Structure 1
Amino acid sequence: MRILLNAMQSENRSGTGRYVTELARALHALAPKEELQYLCPDGKIRCFEEAFLQKPVTPLPLCKRVLTEQWKLPGLVRKKHFDLLHYPAGTGLLFASAPHVLTIHDLCYLKNPDWFPKSRARYFSFVMGKNVRHASRIFADSQATARDAEALLSVPSEKIDVIPLGISPDFSPAGPEARKQLRQCLLLPERFFLFVGTLEPRKNLTTLVRAWARLPEYLPELVLAGRPGWKITQDALRNASGAQAHRLHFLNYVPAELLPALYTEATVFVYPSLMEGFGLPPLEAMACGTPVVTSNTSSLPEVTGDAAVLISPEDETELAGALEWVAGDETLCSRMREKGLSQSARFTWEKTAQLTLAGYRKILGGY
C-alpha cells in the first residue's frame, strides 16, 4: 500500500497543523512497513524522517501551494505509482484526477459564513461541494461533523468514516518544576480561568469576557491564550470587560511545549465555542487535570462526555454561573479532574492512525 499524505499544513500553528503532524507520526510508528510518504510545506515529497525530524522548511506561497495541491500532486500520484492520496486539511481536489481521501474537520464556513472573512468563506463554499464529490471516502473528526457533511453537502453516510483525533502523551499534569518555569516565562495571576485558541468570532470570546466580568473580584482572573485571528480584537475584548479590564490578560500564541504547564496551572479551563468539528483544547486541559466548562453544541458534548460542565454558549448568565460554581467548589473540581483524566485517555493518536489505516484499506480493497 503506497500512500501519499499531503502534509503542506504541518507547519500551521492551528489544530489542523497539529493533526497532520501527529497523524504522520502515529502512522509511521504503527505501520513502518507501509510505504507512506509526505508532501512537505516546500512542495517536495519526503519520507517521515526527512519530513518531520529535520529542520523546518520554507513553505510555498499560497498561490504556489494551491497549484501544487490541485495540479502537481495528482500527476505525482500517477507518475510515482501511489495507490492513494490523503488530503487531511479540509480541502481536496477540484477534479477527479487521482484516487484520494479527504478529512473534514468542520463545516463552519458553510453553516455560519459570517464568522469568517468574506474571501475565505466564499472560497470554502465554492470548493467543498466539489471536494466531497470527487473524494473516494470522507474522514470526519466527529459524529457532529459527519452529520453536517450529510446535511450540508449531501454526502452519503456510508461514504463517511468517523475518526476522532487524539491527545499527545505530552499533555499530562505538569510537575512543580515545569510549572515554576512557566511562571518564569509568562506573567500569570495566581488563580485564573483559561481559554486557549485563535481569537475569532466562533470562539465566542465576547460572551465569555462579559460573563466573566459579572463575577465578584475574589474569583479567578481571565487569561486568553491564542494568536490573533479575525473580526475580534484585544481592544474590543478589553472594552467588553468594563471595570474588570485590569484582570483580563492576553498571552497571544503559546508554544506547544508550555501548554501542559499552562493548562495545569489554570483553575478552570473555559471553552464556550459556538461550533467545533472536534475540540482539542478541552481534552488537552482534561488530560492535564484541569476542570473544564464548555459548550453543549456541535461536537463538544460528544468529545467531553460527562467530564465537563456544559453550558448554552450564548447565555451569559448561565456561563457566569458555571464559572462561579466550578471555581468555588473544590469537591466538584476534584471529581471533574478524575473524570477528565479518564475521558481524555480514551483519545490517542495511535487509535486515530489505526482507524485511518482501516479507512485506506476500505478504499484499496483490504491490502
Structure 2
Amino acid sequence: MSPLLINLSILFAQPTGIATYAANLFPYLKPLNPNLLISPVASNHFPLASDFHSYPVPANLSPAQGTKGHFRRLLWTQFQLPRLYHTLNASLLFSPIPEAPLSSNCRYVVMVHDLIPLRFPKRNSPLTPYFRYYIPQILTQAQHILCNSTATARDITDFYPIPATKITPIPLAYDTNHFRPLCAPLRYPLRPSAFPKNPNEATHNPYFLYIGRHDPYKNLHRLINAFATLPNCSDYELWIAGSSDKRYTPKLQSQAQQLGLSHQVKFLDYVPYNQLPILLNNAIALIFPSLWEGFGLPVLEAMACGTPVITSNLSALPEVAGDAAILVNPYNTSELAAAMHTIATDTQLRSRLSTLGLQRARQFSWAKTGQKTVEVLQNYL
C-alpha cells in the first residue's frame, strides 16, 4: 500500500470551490502513488479516480448532505479514519480541507482555504466553534499547512499561534480546456428564467454576472443596490448564479422586488459546470464584490474566458486579478456602480481587460498547483 492517503470524502456530484480544488488536484498527485479515500458515488463522477488505488468511504459525508454530512464526516474523521490510516500502513494523510484525526498518531498535511467564519461570525453557527476550537488544534498538530493565497497565510498567523514557516501558499487554477473564449456559434443568448433549457428560445438584455453563494459576506445586497443606480439601468440585467439559500436568497429577491428590478435581476440557482463557460463568455463582465475571499475561483475562470472582471480590492482577490481587472472598494456602492457603468459603456476598456485577463489567467495552472503540492508532500513522506 502507498504511504500516502488522500482524503476525498468531500467530493460529490455538484462540486463548488473546495471540491473543485480537490477534484482537479488529485490527478497531479499520481507520482506519489497515493491511496484515495473516496465514496463509490463520487468515483462515478470523477472517472480519473479509477487510475488510483482507492478505498471506499461512506457516501453521506460530503457537503451535499448539509450540516448532517459535515457532522458525520467529523465523526468519521476522528474514529474511522485513524483505523484506515493504520490498517493501510500509511505514513502521511493529505486532506484538501483542514480536517484530520486528533490524538491518533496520524501524520498529516492539510489545506486551508479561508477563515471567513472568523472574519464574519454568524450567531449560533456551528462553524464559529469549529474554527475557534477545532481548526487550531488541527493546524497545531499538522506536519505542514497549505493554503491558497498569501492573504489566507496571513489570516492563519493572525488568528492562530501558527508560525509562518509552517505554511506554504499555493495558488489554485482552472481547467484550461473548459474555461476559454468560445467561438461565435457557442456565444448564444441564454434563458435565465428557466436555465438551462434551450438557450435559443429567448433573447435578453446585456447582463452582468455574479457566480457564487448568497452569504452576506458575498456582498450581493450592495451589488443589487449598485445595479439599481446605473444610468439606463433598464437596458441591462444582473444574473446571479449559485445555489439558492433559504437563509439569504429570499431577502435578496425581496430587495430586487422593492427596487422594481424583479424582471432584471435573475436568480439562476446552481448552474451546471458545462454551462459556466457559455454564461461567462456572454456576460458584459463578471462582478465579484465579495468582502473577503481565500482565493476567488470565479475571477480566474472569467479571465480565462476573456470576460472583463470587476472585483474587490481586499483579501486574495488582487492576488488573483493582478492588473487585469477593475478593483473597487466593496463597501462603496457608488464606486461599484461607477465601475459597472464604465465597463458597460467603454468598449475599448472591455477589450483591453479581456486581453489582460487572458494573459493573467495563463499564469495559473493545475499542473503548477499539483507540482508544488507534490514537492511539499514529498518532504513529509
What is the TM-score of this pair, normalised by structure 2?
Answer: 0.87
1:24 corresponds, among 19, 23, 26, to 26
Alpha-carbon distance between aligned partners in 2 of 1:124 and 1:228, rounded to the nearest angstrom: 24
Please list every run of 5 or more consecutive structure 2 residues that lacks an aligned counterpart in the other structure: 62-67, 192-196
Question: 2:372 maps to which residue?
Answer: 355
Name the SS for the 2:6 alignment partner. strand
Q: Which runs of 4 or more aligned residues in structure 1 lie more than 6 Å from their structure 2 counterparts after TM superposition?
A: 43-47, 50-53
Question: 1:59 maps to which residue?
Answer: 60
Residue 84 (str. 1) matches residue 92 (str. 2): yes
Question: 1:294 maps to which residue?
Answer: 311
2:184 corresponds, among 173, 176, 196, to 176
CA shift in 2, pair 1:214/1:43, >3 Å: closer
Please say if residues 189 and 203 of structure 2, whose CA atoms lie closer than 8 Å, have aligned partners that are also in contact. no
Amino acid at match of 1:27: L
Please list every run of 5 or more consecutive structure 1 residues that lacks an aligned counterpart in the other structure: none
1:227 corresponds, among 243, 250, 262, to 243
Question: 2:5 maps to which residue?
Answer: 4
Shift in Å, 1:73: 1.4
* Count of matched residue positions in the alignment of Structure 1 and Structure 2: 357
Moved more, 60-69 or 169-178: 60-69
Amino acid at match of 1:297: L
Amino acid at match of 2:89: H
Please say if residues 150 and 169 of structure 2, whose CA atoms lie closer than 8 Å, have aligned partners that are also in contact. yes
Residue 194 (str. 1) matches residue 201 (str. 2): no
Residue 204 (str. 1) matches residue 219 (str. 2): yes
Residue 147 (str. 1) matches residue 154 (str. 2): yes
Alpha-carbon distance between aligned partners in 2 of 1:16 and 1:297, rounded to the nearest angstrom: 20
Question: 1:314 maps to which residue?
Answer: 331
Residue 254 (str. 1) matches residue 254 (str. 2): no
Amino acid at match of 2:6: L
Alpha-carbon distance between aligned partners in 1 of 2:82 and 2:297, rounded to the nearest angstrom: 31
Shift in Å, 1:80: 1.1
Amino acid at match of 1:148: D
Amino acid at match of 1:236: L
Question: 2:291 maps to which residue?
Answer: 274
What CA deviation, in whole Å up to 9, does each residue of 1:48-93 have, x standing for no partner?
217899xx98434624422221222122222211221011123333
Calculate the aligned-residue CA RMSD, in Å: 2.6
Please say if residues 190 and 204 of structure 2, whose CA atoms lie closer than 8 Å, have aligned partners that are also in contact. no
Alpha-carbon distance between aligned partners in 1 of 2:77 and 2:40, rounded to the nearest angstrom: 12
Alpha-carbon distance between aligned partners in 1 of 2:274 and 2:237, rounded to the nearest angstrom: 23
Question: 1:36 maps to which residue?
Answer: 34
What is the TM-score of this pair, normalised by structure 1?
Answer: 0.90
Name the SS for the 1:334 alignment partner. helix
Question: 1:104 maps to which residue?
Answer: 112
Shift in Å, 1:311: 0.4
Amino acid at match of 1:22: N
Residue 161 (str. 1) matches residue 168 (str. 2): yes
Amino acid at match of 1:108: I
Question: 1:264 maps to which residue?
Answer: 281
Alpha-carbon distance between aligned partners in 1 of 2:51 and 2:338, rounded to the nearest angstrom: 50
Moved more, 170-179 or 254-263: 170-179
Alpha-carbon distance between aligned partners in 2 of 1:113 and 1:51, rounded to the nearest angstrom: 39
Q: How does 1:109-120 map to 2 (within 5 A)?
A: 109-114=117-122, 118-120=125-127
Name the SS for the 1:198 alignment partner. coil
Shift in Å, 1:202: 1.2
What CA deviation, in whole Å up to 9, does each residue of 1:205-258 have, x standing for no partner?
000000111112254210000002364124434424602232111100000000
Name the SS for the 2:146 alignment partner. strand
Please say if residues 43 and 68 of structure 1, whose CA atoms lie closer than 8 Å, have aligned partners that are also in contact. no
Alpha-carbon distance between aligned partners in 2 of 1:174 and 1:238, rounded to the nearest angstrom: 35
Moved more, 181-190 or 321-330: 181-190
Please say if residues 142 and 278 of structure 1, whose CA atoms lie closer than 8 Å, have aligned partners that are also in contact. yes
Amino acid at match of 1:282: V
Please say if residues 205 and 237 of structure 1, whose CA atoms lie closer than 8 Å, have aligned partners that are also in contact. no
CA shift in 2, pair 1:126/1:51, >3 Å: farther
